[in-house]
C-alpha cells in the first residue's frame, strides 16, 4: 500500500501533467518561443519525475536491505545473549568429574586462569556484535537521511518547475488576450472599411442619379427653348398694340410638361382675334416659361449645392456637375437671366410650389430640402440654416456663471436607439456632427473627427466626468476610474439619456460616453478614419486635376 508521501507525489505529478497538457491545447502556437519553453519545461518535469521515481525505488530497496540486516543482527544478538546466559549457568550446575585429584584440579584451574574464560569470550563476542549492530544502525540512519535529502531536493525541483509552468501559463494567457484584442480591432477596422465603402457606393449612386436628373432637366429645358424659338419664328413680329380682350388664361408650364407646351400655344393662337392678341399671348407665355425654367434651375442648383457641401466628409459632387446646374453666361437662358429683373420672392414661390407638386425630383430628403430653399438662392441654404439652428441649440447648453456644466448635454438620444440609424441620419444631414462635451457643431465629418484628438476636448471630457460622477479618470494608459467618494457637483437630468459616438457607431450612457471618448480604441478609429478621408481627398484632387487637364486638351 503506497504511503501518504507517495500519494502526494503522484497527485502533484498528475496535476502538473494536466496543467501542461491544458496550456498546450489552449495556446498551442507552432514555432513560438514560449511554446518551446513550455515543452522544454514539460520535458524537464518529466525527467525530474522519472529520476525521483528511480531514486525512491533505490532508496526503498536499500532501506529494506538495511532493515533486514538490522533484524538479522538483532536476532543474532538475542541468540548470543541466550547462549551467554546458558553458559553462565552451566559451570555452577555441573559437578566435578570423578577421579579428579586435587593436583589435577589445581592444574586445570591454572590452565583455565591462563586461557580466557567462556564468559569473557561471550562478552567479547557480544561487544563485537553490539558494535556491528550500532554500525549497521548508523549506516541505515545515514542512508535514510540521504534519501530524505534527495527527496527534498526533488520536491524543490518540482515546485520550481510548477512555478515556471504557472509563469509560462500567465504569459500565454496575456499573449492570447493581446491576440484577441488585435483580432477584434482588425475585425472592427474591416467592418469600418466595409461601411465606408458601402456609404461611398450609395453616395456615388445618389450623385449619378442627381446627375441623370440634371441632364434630363437640361434636355427638357433645351426642348422648351427650341419650342419657344419655333413658335417665335412661326408667328413672326407684329407692331400692333396689344388688345386686352384677347388675353386668355394660360396655365403655367412646368419643366416636366414641355410636351404639352406647343398644343396649348397653338390653341391660344388659333383662338386669338388678331396678330396683336397673339403677340401679347406669346409674350405672356414666354414669361411663364422663363419663370418655370428659373424655378427648376434654382431647384436643381440648390440640390447640387447641398450635395456638393455635404458635411459628412464623403465624396462630393465634381465641379463639372455642380456648375452644370447654373445657366452658362453665353447661353440664351443665361442672357435672359441677366437681362430679366429680379422678381419678388412672392412672385417666384407660386410657380416653384406648383412645379414642386407636379414634378418633384426623385432625390429624397435632400431634393425636398433644396426645393424648399429654391425661393431665394442668394440667401443661406437649408443646410446652413440647419447648422445655425443646431449651433444655437448647442449654445443653449453652455456652462453657468459658476462654470458648472448643464444637467444634460445637447443632442442626446435614447439608450435603445440604433447607432447605425443615428450615424446614417448624421451623414444625410438630418442630425448634426456635434461634440456634446464641448457643445460644438461642425460642418463636416472631417472637422468632427479632427476635433476628437484635440487636447482641450480630452480635458473637457475628464472635467465633465468628474462633475457628473464625482470620480476621476486616471492619467495613465489604463484610464481606470478612481472613486474619490465625493458627490457630483452637477445633478444630471432624469431620463434614459445617452449619446452616440459617430466615429465608432456606439450608443452609451453619459458617463460611459465620456470615458469612451478618452479610450485608445476610440482614438485609433478616429485616426484611421482621418487617414482614409485624407486618402480619398487626395484621390479626388488627382482625379479632378486629370479631368481638368483632359478638358483643357479637348
Whether 361 has a pLDDT exceeding 60, the answer reads no
pLDDT digits (tens, 9 = 90+) for 210-221: 888 888 888 888
Q: Which of 11-25, 28-42, 131-145, 247-261 has the highest mean pLDDT?
A: 131-145
Count, residues in the chain = 554
CA distance 433 to 449: 9
pLDDT digits (tens, 9 = 90+) for 147-187: 788 788 878 888 887 888 888 888 888 888 888 888 888 88
Longest dimension (CA), the chain: 204
Whether 512 has a pLDDT exceeding 90, the answer reads yes
CA distance 554 to 542: 18
Residue 446's SS3 state is helix
What's the rounded mean pLDDT across residues 399-410? 90
What's the rounded mean pLDDT across residues 292-296? 66
Whether 481 has a pLDDT exceeding 70, the answer reads yes
Tally Cβ neighbours within 10 Å of residue 33: 9
DSSP symbols for 5-73 = HHHHHHHHHHHHHHHHHHHHHHS--TT-HHHHHHHHHHHHHHHHHHHHHHHHHHHHHHHHHHHHHHHHH
Cβ atoms of 296 and 371 closer than 8 Å: no
Q: Residue 426: which residues within 8 A CB-CB, separation 6 or more?
A: 312, 432, 433, 445, 502
Confidence class for position 39, pLDDT limits 50, 70, 90 = confident
Q: What percent of the chain has pLDDT over 70?
A: 63
Whether 247 has a pLDDT exceeding 70, the answer reads no
HEC assignment per residue over 255-298 = CCCHHHHHHHHHHHHHHCCCHHHHHHHHHHHHHHHHHHHHHHHH
Whether 302 has a pLDDT exceeding 50, the answer reads yes
Instruction: Tell me which of 121 and 195 has the higher pLDDT.
Output: 195
Cell 528511480 locates to 54
CA 449 to chain CA centroid, Å, is: 16
Confidence class for position 113, pLDDT limits 50, 70, 90 = low
Instruction: Tell me which of 451 and 123 has the higher pLDDT.
Output: 451
pLDDT of residue 347: 37
All structural domains of the chain with their residue ranges? 4-89+118-193, 236-308+349-360, 385-541
**Alpha-carbon radius of gyration of the chain:** 53
CA distance 500 to 506: 6
Question: pLDDT averaged over the chain?
Answer: 72
* Torsion sign, CA atoms 136, 140, 141, 145: positive
pTM recorded for the entire structure? 0.35
pLDDT digits (tens, 9 = 90+) for 120-137: 777 887 788 778 878 877
Amino acid at each position: 500500500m503506497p504511503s501518504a508521501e507517495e500519494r502526494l507525489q503522484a497527485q502533484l505529478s498528475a496535476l502538473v501533467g494536466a496543467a501542461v497538457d491544458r496550456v498546450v491545447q489552449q495556446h498551442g502556437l507552432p514555432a513560438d518561443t514560449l511554446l518551446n519553453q513550455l515543452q522544454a519545461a514539460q520535458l524537464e518535469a518529466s525527467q525530474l519525475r522519472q529520476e525521483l521515481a528511480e531514486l525512491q525505488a533505490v532508496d526503498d530497496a536499500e532501506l529494506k536491505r538495511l532493515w533486514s540486516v538490522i533484524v538479522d543482527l538483532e536476532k543474532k544478538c538475542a541468540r548470543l545473549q541466550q547462549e551467554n546466559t546458558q553458559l553462565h549457568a552451566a559451570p555452577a550446575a555441573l559437578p566435578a568429574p570423578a577421579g579428579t585429584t586435587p593436583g589435577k584440579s589445581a592444574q586445570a584451574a591454572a590452565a583455565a586462569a591462563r586461557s580466557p574464560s567462556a564468559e569473557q569470550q561471550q562478552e567479547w563476542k557480544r561487544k563485537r556484535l553490539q558494535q556491528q549492530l550500532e554500525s549497521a544502525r548508523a549506516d541505515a540512519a545515514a542512508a535514510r537521511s540521504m534519501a530524505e535529502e534527495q527527496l527534498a531536493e526533488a520536491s524543490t525541483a518540482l515546485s520550481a518547475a510548477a512555478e515556471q509552468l504557472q509563469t509560462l501559463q500567465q504569459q500565454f494567457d496575456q499573449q492570447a488576450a493581446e491576440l484577441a484584442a488585435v483580432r477584434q480591432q482588425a475585425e472592427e477596422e474591416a467592418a469600418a472599411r466595409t461601411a465606408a465603402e458601402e456609404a461611398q457606393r450609395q453616395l456615388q449612386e445618389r450623385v449619378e442619379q442627381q446627375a441623370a436628373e440634371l441632364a434630363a432637366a437640361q434636355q427638357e429645358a433645351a426642348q422648351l427653348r427650341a419650342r419657344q424659338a419655333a413658335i417665335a419664328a412661326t408667328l413672326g413680329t407684329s407692331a400692333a398694340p396689344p388688345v386686352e380682350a384677347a388675353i386668355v388664361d394660360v396655365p403655367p408650364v412646368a419643366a416636366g410638361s414641355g410636351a404639352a407646351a406647343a398644343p396649348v400655344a397653338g390653341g391660344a393662337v388659333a383662338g386669338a382675334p388678331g396678330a396683336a392678341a397673339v403677340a401679347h399671348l406669346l409674350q405672356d407665355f414666354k414669361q411663364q416659361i422663363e419663370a418655370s425654367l428659373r424655378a427648376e434651375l434654382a431647384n436643381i442648383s440648390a440640390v447640387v449645392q447641398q450635395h456638393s457641401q455635404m458635411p459628412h466628409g464623403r465624396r462630393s459632387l465634381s465641379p463639372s456637375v455642380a456648375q452644370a446646374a447654373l445657366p452658362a453666361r453665353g447661353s440664351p437662358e443665361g442672357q435672359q437671366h441677366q437681362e430679366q429683373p429680379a422678381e419678388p420672392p412672392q412672385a417666384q414661390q407660386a410657380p416653384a410650389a406648383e412645379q414642386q407638386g407636379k414634378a418633384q425630383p426623385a432625390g429624397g430628403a435632400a431634393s425636398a430640402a433644396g426645393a424648399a430653399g429654391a425661393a431665394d438662392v442668394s440667401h443661406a441654404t437649408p443646410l446652413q440654416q440647419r447648422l445655425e439652428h443646431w449651433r444655437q441649440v448647442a449654445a443653449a447648453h453652455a456652462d453657468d456663471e459658476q462654470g458648472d456644466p448643464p444637467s444634460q448635454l445637447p443632442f442626446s438620444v435614447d439608450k435603445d436607439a440604433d447607432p447605425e440609424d443615428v450615424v446614417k441620419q448624421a451623414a444625410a444631414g438630418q442630425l448634426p456632427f456635434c461634440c456634446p462635451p464641448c457643445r460644438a457643431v461642425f460642418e463636416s465629418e472631417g472637422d468632427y473627427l479632427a476635433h476628437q484628438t484635440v487636447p482641450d476636448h480630452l480635458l473637457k471630457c475628464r472635467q465633465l466626468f468628474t462633475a457628473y460622477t464625482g470620480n476621476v479618470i486616471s492619467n495613465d494608459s489604463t484610464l481606470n476610474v478612481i472613486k474619490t467618494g465625493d458627490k457630483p457637483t452637477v445633478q444630471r437630468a432624469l431620463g434614459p439619456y445617452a449619446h452616440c459616438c459617430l466615429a465608432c457607431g456606439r450608443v452609451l450612457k453619459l458617463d460611459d460616453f465620456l470615458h469612451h471618448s478618452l479610450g485608445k480604441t476610440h482614438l485609433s478609429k478616429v485616426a484611421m478614419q482621418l487617414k482614409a478621408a485624407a486618402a480619398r481627398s487626395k484621390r479626388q484632387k488627382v482625379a479632378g486635376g486629370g479631368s481638368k487637364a483632359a478638358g483643357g486638351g479637348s
